[in-house]
Amino acid sequence: MEYEIDVKENMILQKWPDLLGILLRDHTTGKNIFWATDLYEQQYGHRYAFRSQMMPELITGENGNIIKPRVAKTKKAQQDRVKDKAEVFTPAWICNKQNNLVDNDWFGYDGVFNNEKDDNTWTATKKPVVFPENKTWIDYVRELRLEVACGEAPYLVSRYDITTGKKIKLQNRIGLLDRKIRIVNENAASDSEWLAMVKWAFKSTYGYEWQGDNLLLARENLLFTFIDYFEDRFSKEPDLDLLKEIADIISWNIWQMDGIRGVLPCTCCNSKYIDLFGEKTMDCCLGCKTGDIHSHNGIYCKIRDWNSKAKRPKTLTFVSLLKDKK
């Protein structure tokens, strides 16, 4: 089945029970992701306020058309979001060009996955990808990739051109995760190996986003990318248990965060106190004051290290990966 670029939350809820709840999960708080924008409250009321959780009933039923990709929003809504959070989306051809630079460096030669054309299009290479002597296809699949301020995640997966809404055929997709899955397609010796390595492709692909609606769209885009490739290989839809497993990986790896501070958006606090002379004073968050990402008093975001040697994946804060405190 080919799904529209605007994945309908009503369809997810009706077709795959409990899946929407996983896609809305925030593992840092144990609650749901939150809106992190004032734009919805203006139109729909207080349950859509900045700090309100995104609950399934707020985006399904009669509210089933509230969450839309940028291309489906009104021009005014797009302009409001640019003003609100400097939201900018990148055309697929630029995503492809920049992703190609990453792969050119990793492989040591150009034109690994596609050849760019002068008219901002590209042609996918047809022969299997050739690996350098000191690297294997498994190395590539498990190589860590991160999209910062990911929006709808166009650098990770390319179901559609985010600026035009035009669908991109499976063989022409250019996202970092798309490329990993192509490598699995070309090298997996069995169906079981294919599935195991595609899971590793998802586990090694990360992204963070401030606004809750964009975050949900990004998670949906990764999930439906998995469905696309699964159906292409097996000529059937994945079952619910498998989808829930993939959705759980996605909910850990694509998370909500203020990328400047490494905390959940707007969770740093200012403290007021009265000194011995009765004068009111305010101290701002030390991290906000000094620019030290390790000194904020907000809620630091948790992610999962799937490569942990422990029996279970290791949970850690994102900022713990940043060694330089300046």
Angle, alpha carbons 293-40-213 (nearest 5°): 55
* 242 in any annotated domain: no
Would you write out the chain's pLDDT as a tens digit for each of its 326 residues?
667 889 999 999 999 989 999 999 999 999 999 999 998 998 999 999 999 999 999 999 999 999 999 887 767 766 766 666 666 789 999 999 999 999 999 999 999 999 999 999 999 999 999 999 999 999 999 999 999 999 999 999 999 999 999 999 999 999 999 999 999 999 999 999 999 999 999 999 999 999 999 999 999 999 999 999 999 999 999 999 999 999 999 999 999 999 999 999 999 987 655 555 556 556 789 999 999 999 999 999 999 999 876 678 999 999 999 976 44
Give the DSSP letter string of 195-243.
Answer: HHHHHHHHHTEEEEESSHHHHHHHHHHHHHHHHHHHHHHHSSPPPHHHH
* 251 in any annotated domain: no
Tell me the one-letter amino acid at 270.
Answer: N
* 277 in any annotated domain: yes
The Cα 250–Cα 33 span in angstroms is 13
* 253 in any annotated domain: no
* 186 in any annotated domain: no
Q: Which helix (H) or strand (E) holds 305?
A: strand 302-305
β-strand partners of 116? 122
Contact 57, 6 (CB under 8 A): no
* 305 in any annotated domain: yes
* 131 in any annotated domain: no
Number of domains in the chain: 1
What pLDDT is recorded for position 109? 97
180-189: burial string, b at 16+ Cβ within 10 Å, e else: bbbbbbebbe
The Cα 316–Cα 302 span in angstroms is 5
* 282 in any annotated domain: yes
β-strand partners of 160? 167
Chain CA centroid to CA 106, Å: 22
What pLDDT is recorded for position 311? 76
Name every residue whose Cβ is closer than 8 Å to that of residue 320 and which is 6 or more positions away in sequence: none
Expressed as residue numbers, the domain containing 286 is 271-321
Q: Hey, what are 174's tokens?
A: 């250019």
What pLDDT is recorded for position 75? 72
What pLDDT is recorded for position 42? 87
What pLDDT is recorded for position 24? 98
Q: How many CB atoms lie within 10 A of CB 122?
A: 19
